[in-house]
């Protein structure tokens, strides 16, 4: 199977519960943030983004929260489903106009 999830922090969630995935970013000048989902054997897939002039943004079953004071980003998944099992990455765009990716968090949904 896909080995990208090895050695990553793992969140085990009961199906139907809410999931919260956290990310600490490093650059206080970053002005744009993205969450990606990577399923086994696939490339990262865009989930939701947020600009630094916002502190919350909602999508379908997902919410991203941004706390610039402590440089923290979180992704909340409502009513977690088996298809949500994946590795989740945050990414920040800094002054060099390039994305810097976090190492990722493995989410395992227990049926």
Residues that bind another protein (CB under 8 A): 3-4, 6-8, 32, 34, 36, 41-46, 49, 51, 89, 91, 93, 97-99, 101-104
List the one residue out of 22, 20, 29 whose CA is nearest residue 73: 22
Minimum distance of another protein from residue 4's CB (angstroms): 6
Instruction: Please name the residues in contact with 106: beta carbons below 8 A apart, sequence gap of 6 or more.
Output: 5, 8, 9, 10, 11, 86, 87
Comparison of 19 and 104: residue with beta carbon closer to another protein = 104
Comparison of 80 and 89: residue with beta carbon closer to another protein = 89
Comparison of 44 and 80: residue with beta carbon closer to another protein = 44
Q: Beta strands 62-67 and 72-77: pairing type?
A: antiparallel
């Amino acid at each position: 199977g896909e080995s990208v999830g090895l050695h990553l922090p793992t969140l085990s969630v009961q199906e139907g519960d809410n999931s919260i995935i956290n990310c600490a970013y490093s650059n206080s000048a970053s002005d744009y943030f993205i969450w990606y989902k990577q399923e086994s054997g696939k490339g990262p897939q865009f989930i939701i983004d947020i600009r630094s002039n916002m502190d919350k943004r909602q999508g379908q079953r997902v919410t991203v929260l941004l706390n610039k004071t402590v440089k923290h980003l979180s992704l909340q998944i409502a009513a977690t489903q088996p298809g949500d099992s994946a590795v989740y990455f945050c990414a920040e765009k800094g002054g060099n106009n390039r994305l810097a990716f976090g190492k990722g968090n493995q989410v395992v949904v227990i049926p």
